[in-house]
Amino acid sequence: MTRGQARALETLQTRFVIEPQDTSFEDYSADREPAPLGVEIGFGMGQALAEWALERQDWRLLGIEVYQPGIGSLLLQLEEAGATNVRVLEADAREIFERWLPAASVREIHIYFPDPWPKKRHASRRIVQPDTLAVFANALEPGGLLHLATDWQSYAEWMLECAQGEPRLRNLAAGFAPRPDDRPVTRFEARGQRLGHDVWDLKLERVANEP
């Protein structure tokens, strides 16, 4: 962790970080105007989330991450940009979606370049699983979007297989989506591009409940 990241964690936590055990979703929402809610799971060093905050200043955004240097990095970027619409949850994403976020409360969920756990014996640790997609679908409002991206082909194929098994999510492409212009190129992705890695995107829409 750099000195700047450590300073950010010490001085900016009270402004940007939510303690889910002490703050309910209703408390978080109480002093904010109604606005679309976006969530990024595993935001890494925070570049994509910081850019999202500036592009969607009329949205409320939540970032979920457990890597403290990454949280510190994001807080520095938010402070520098003057962004006020982001809050951070240092917590397990599944627990947040199951116990903290209400159903049909989220407009968009972004999961960019999650840990691929490439060894077969570790595949069950991947964030994208059939049961987690069901949890994410429950949190999305009808018409809401789940955007996934990875540079591991085997993980991309697994994501697609899982998506095909979740009836509440509709793939917006015939397979993988073209790279969206609105997804920032993070340092992680740029490094992968230099190494010749391909990237696969999936954009999944929450279908309306049956009447």
Q: Which secondary-structure segment (H or E) carries 50?
A: helix 47-55
Q: How many helices (H) and strands (E) does the chain have?
A: 8, 8
Name the residues annotated as catalytic.
115
Other C-beta atoms within 10 Å of 20: how many? 18
In degrees, rounded to 5, the angle at the alpha carbon of residue 175 between the alpha carbons of residues 171 and 180 is 75
Residue type present at position 60 = R
DSSP string, 126-166: -S--HHHHHHHHHHEEEEEEEEEEES-HHHHHHHHHHHHT-
